[in-house]
Chains A and B, each alone.
Chain A
Amino acid sequence: MNSKHVYNWRQLIALAFVALLSPSLRIFPTGSVQLAGRAAWLSALAAGLLMLLYLRFLCLFLGTRREGEGLAELTLRALGQKTGRAALVLIPLWLLLYAGFVLRSGADRFITTIFPLSSPGVFTVTMGLVSLIAALGSARSLVRVARLALPALLGILLLILAFALFKVEKLNLLPVTVADAGPVLLGTLPVIDVLSAVCYLICFLAGPAPKEEGPFRSGARALLGTCLLLTALCVAVVGSFGAELTGRLTRPFFSLVRNLVFFNSLERIEALVVTLWVLPDFLLTSLLLFAAQFCLRLALGETPAYHGEKRLDLSCRRWVVWACAAAAIGCGLLIAPDPESMSFWSEKLIPGLNMLFAFVVLPAIWAAGRLRKKL
């Protein structure tokens, strides 16, 4: 493979981290608080331990890949040409639905936090088109953008958390007893949902990454670091607002940001933070579009790896990328027209389908490959 389009696991992990910031602030910590109450701040830590098992599984799965293969190629090899191609047509349906939802929820975040009089269509279409441009290029551009965005987003997040921790009240977080173990485990569901999605999504981009590097160690480190960050986020939000109020707020993190006053002079920086969160939206949507078009083109018998084609080049069935973007944008415009359905999509449908794909479909593909001795 051309070294211009090669990247490493460290870059992929950076992409995963930045991409997860988009869904994590949508359903976390509200989702965990609704399930675990005041003890929700332990959910991310508990989820980290469970996610290590899932990471182990993905590493086992990817360990069977040959040079240049990613999750899509592994699926084809595991299931055989016929079933594999069918699976590679079905998987993009989920990925594009998810991409459409990310576009819609990103627009919703803009409307509920900064532009209350706006229509979601503008944000959905704009972000969709920008993601299309990214998906038409090399995946390396995505991982490099992630590497560039990571320090900025992490810096802002840590700064906000540092100031927010001053507002934390002990009685909002304690007491936690053994009786809370069950609710805490339930509260891990939103965290597992978010983490599992980005974990398997970067596996679709694993092709150009060197095979010899074992991603488990670095992945586990990043995973636990992410869980610690999510724990700090939950402590800051629940510690400031209390579990009862947090469970009722749509976007408690941005409410927290709106409240912050820096050094008695700088305040109301939520617009800046919400705008920065465009980057995770962009990267997650592009990642989903890239994975979807890759699977579809592979199913159509093409070699979808990027070889430096121009963006308007439609050879090698690259029109599929445009079709995928159109489908995602269309989906984003059509789904969740009202707040009630948005809640349903955000809290039930998308997490449910994601968990189904991560914990049923992918293990089933792996098991089928092992049974057929193709992996």
Chain B
Amino acid sequence: MKKLLALLLALALAPGLTGCGSIYSNYREVEQILAVQTMGLDSQDDSLRLSLAAPSTTRADGKPVCLSGSGQSITTAIERVRNFSSEEDLFCAHINHVVLGESLAKEGIGDTLTYLCRSPEMRIDTPLYVVRQCPAEELMAGVVAGGTGICEVLDAVKSNADERGDSTVFTAAQVAQGLARHGSALICALQYTDSDELTPASGGESLPEERPSGRPAEEIQSGGVGKTAAVDGYAILRDGKLCGYLSREEAIGANFLLNRVGVSDLTVQDQEGETLTLEISQGGAEFVPVWDEKDGGLRGIDIYAHVRASVREAGEGSASQEETDALTGLLEAAVSERIRAALQSSKRLQADFLGLASQVELAAPLRFRALDSSFPELLPGLEFRISVSGELSHINNLKDA
């Protein structure tokens, strides 16, 4: 009898546990929810400009949505957007991308990282992006106005980065970790551009003036047809603030030093001035610190990089050993040049965004811990010797066909 009563009680409770009905204050129908997937953040005078975008699939009319609002903090800005929005309810637990405007990144992203790490809704491994020379709001609203949602565009960016590997999309956790350990970190940089005319790789170090942020979304939407977002190297953070960029070419070098090399293309010119396109499939680097035996100081780092590639586009040539050796030499020189460029940026900015300190510590932990100065202080005086060993897996030569 007691068991029967217990069973009946359990059955009676079961309907209440399904989430159906209005007894829960936070209960909402799926149709009433706007599932936000991209968050944009810009600095605006003394406040923060927040943009929230949802993909087209969440709406019955099939159009992507972008909402904007301001507040003293991210939370107050979200509340403001929530209050003034005509949407039923904003659901922020599935935000998959956070786009930072250049002005905010220059002022510092410490508060943003704290919010991402602290928020019970957000995930700490949410990918971060910095938009070059543009407010995040303009990028998001502009892409949305073009008919393609920013969420879909960034999903494609992330997917390409994961699958190909010519760029890395760093998460909030990785950025926070890099800043805490090395004082510097990289963030994937985005370029806001016409979808039919992606501009070539832009320069690395400059930080030109950004267009003003905070314009109403409606105004931006009217002129934003045909715009998209594309990966454009890395943004460099030092002490939480944007201090420069790595171009797409330099980013390839950085990927070697970070051991995050995926499929990426290299365009080189041979001695006859002929353009060749090589496709890198594998690569990485090993680090050997060079110590001063007298004072125990760090003199430099020997970097041994390796790369494996194939020839994608080339003129007619022979499949001789000499030709292969020449192509391998071009490959090695191109990789070496990109690695050197990334290292030069690190030295110039005194920012260890490549995590070289960890590599030195891994190779010689006791000597590293005995260093008098911090690694970023040592960076400008360090000598880097780069050695690249290349291998061409196949040359796809026409004569072989």
Q: Give chain A's interface residues, CB within 8 Å of chain B.
A: 112-114, 116, 170-172, 174-177, 179, 240-242, 244-245, 248-249, 255, 258-259, 268
Contacts and interface: CB of A to CB of B under 8 A. Distances in A.
Contacts of B124: 241, 249, 255, 258-259
B181 A248 contact: no
B211 interface: no
Interface in B316-367: 355, 358-359, 361-362, 365-366
Contact of A259 (B93, B123, B180): B123
A149 B105 CA distance: 47
A242 B181 contact: yes
Contacts of A113: 120
Contact of B177 (A176, A244, A268): A244
29 contacts: A113-B120, A116-B121, A171-B355, A171-B359, A175-B361, A175-B365, A176-B365, A177-B366, A179-B369, A240-B173, A241-B124, A241-B177, A242-B180, A242-B181, A244-B177, A245-B117, A245-B173, A245-B176, A248-B117, A248-B180, A249-B117, A249-B124, A255-B117, A255-B124, A259-B123, A259-B125, A259-B173, A268-B93, A268-B94
A177 B180 CA distance: 21
Given A242-B177, A242-B181, A171 B120 contact: no
B148 to A, nearest CB: 22
Contacts of B173: 240-241, 245, 259
A300 B48 CA distance: 64
Contact of A171 (B117, B123, B176, B358): B358
Contacts of B94: 268
A241 B116 CA distance: 14
Nearest to A170: B362
A175 B359 CA distance: 10
A170 B259 CA distance: 12
B295 to A, nearest CB: 20
Q: A interface, by DSSP: helix, strand, loop or mixed?
A: helix
A244 B366 contact: no
Contacts of A172: 177
Interface residues of B, number: 21
Nearest to B176: A245
A244 B173 CA distance: 11
Interface of B: 93-94, 117, 120-121, 123-125, 173, 176-177, 180-181, 355, 358-359, 361-362, 365-366, 369
Given A116-B120, A259-B124, A175 B180 contact: no
B354 to A, nearest CB: 12
A171 B369 contact: no
Given A112-B120, A174-B362, 16 more contacts: A116-B120, A170-B362, A171-B359, A172-B177, A175-B362, A176-B365, A179-B365, A179-B366, A240-B173, A242-B180, A245-B173, A245-B180, A255-B117, A259-B124, A259-B125, A259-B173
B362 A171 contact: yes
Given A174-B362, A175-B365, A179-B366, A244 B355 contact: no
B355 to A, nearest CB: 7
A249 B173 CA distance: 11
Nearest to A116: B120
A157 B94 CA distance: 24
Contacts of B120: 112-114, 116
A60 B117 CA distance: 46
| Closest 3 pairs (CB-CB, A-B) | A244-B180, A175-B365, A242-B177
Contacts of B181: 242, 244
Contacts of B366: 177, 179
Contacts of B180: 242, 244-245, 248
Nearest to B366: A177
Contacts of A268: 93-94
Nearest to A177: B365
A295 to B, nearest CB: 31
Contacts of A170: 362
Nearest to A167: B125
A176 B176 CA distance: 22
Contacts of A241: 124, 173, 177
Contacts of A112: 120
Nearest to B181: A244
A179 B365 CA distance: 10
